[in-house]
Amino acid sequence: MENLILECRGICKSYGRKEVLKDLNLTIESGKIYGLIGRNGAGKTTLLSILTAQNPATGGEVTINGKPVWENEEVLKDLCFSREIVSSTQNGIAAMKVKNYLKAASVYFPYWDQGMADELVKEFGLDIKKPMSKLSKGMLSMVTIVVALASKAPFTILDEPVAGLDVFMRRKFYQLLLEEYSNTGRTFIISTHIIEEASDVLEEVIMLHGGKILLKENTQELIGRTFCVSGLESEVDRAVRNLKTYMPERTGRGKRVTVVLNSGEKIDETCDVTVQPVNLSEVFVAMCNETEAAYEK
Ligand code: ADP
């Protein structure tokens, strides 16, 4: 697959007086599965819709290999944004039968794979004769997943694809995603707030917070340098002296903190402390909490 680079430079977005994205820079190289994580209202949908030219930025530019995506069909053919169908009454979709919704997608996406769409519909047990308004939240999620996978777009973006799915279907989705990724090397950006189950699938994690990219890093490397240190307060303080700490919690004389080690940094394990690994949700909570006060001013 062609080596494409999707780039955001100086992206700003305001809705009225509310500034949602603030001079945001982001580079997405092809051939990876990215996870976009951020709290509700952080601006994930806004960012993804700007990336795919479905929403104009207030400032800045999005390009693929240097070419602007805005109103540029030559570039847009490489992008699919399968957004969450929040309400089945949205945009006149309600009365549409599933098969007509998929038909419209097949016309819209130039690399559409009908065979794959048919297989996925079967696998998910979707009734294509049903109107969209009669689908459950989970079924609507499945439709967005069918569209995303069958679009075969080199850059495929899914906004909260698993939000409506139960744990079995979430697993099924990640399995299908990995299969498609290993067969084609397509690039996927998946936004989700259900972080933990996704952490094995997401090669890189992008954290959006306070209108900016707080972090973009290989998921396993990030988890590998983050630890929870606990013990007596005095020992913990000694073990992490000179380190930036997140989420301090005190209980009596005990304390626990989270540390994200930069290269060359070490926890002093000669102190009487317990050092434990953390999972991706904990890294996220720690890092976002820390910056909360500063951003909400
Ligand atoms: P996320 O996807 O991370 O939950 P969104 O991008 O949907 O965040 O929203 C970010 C912020 O922008 C929220 O405060 C939301 O209320 C606001 N917002 C989103 N879309 C609009 C819109 N069309 N008009 C006004 N405000 C909006």
CA distance 137 to 293: 35
Q: Which atom of ligand 1 is nearest to the CA of 38?
A: 3
CA of 99 to the centre of ligand 1 (A): 30
CA of 37 to the centre of ligand 1 (A): 15
**pLDDT score of 74 more than 70:** yes
CA distance 284 to 36: 11
Contact 6, 62 (CB under 8 A): yes
Closest of 212, 225, 201, 234 to residue 278, by C-alpha: 225
Say what the pLDDT of residue 117 is: 97
Q: Which atom of ligand 1 is nearest to the CA of 16?
A: 25
Say what the pLDDT of residue 90 is: 57
Contact 290, 254 (CB under 8 A): no
Could you read off the pLDDT of 207-257 as tens digits, one per residue? 999 899 999 999 999 999 999 999 999 999 999 999 999 999 998 999 999
User: Residues 84, 199, 239, 214: is their CA dihedral positive or negative?
Assistant: negative
Q: How many CB atoms lie within 10 A of CB 16?
A: 5
CA distance 205 to 223: 10
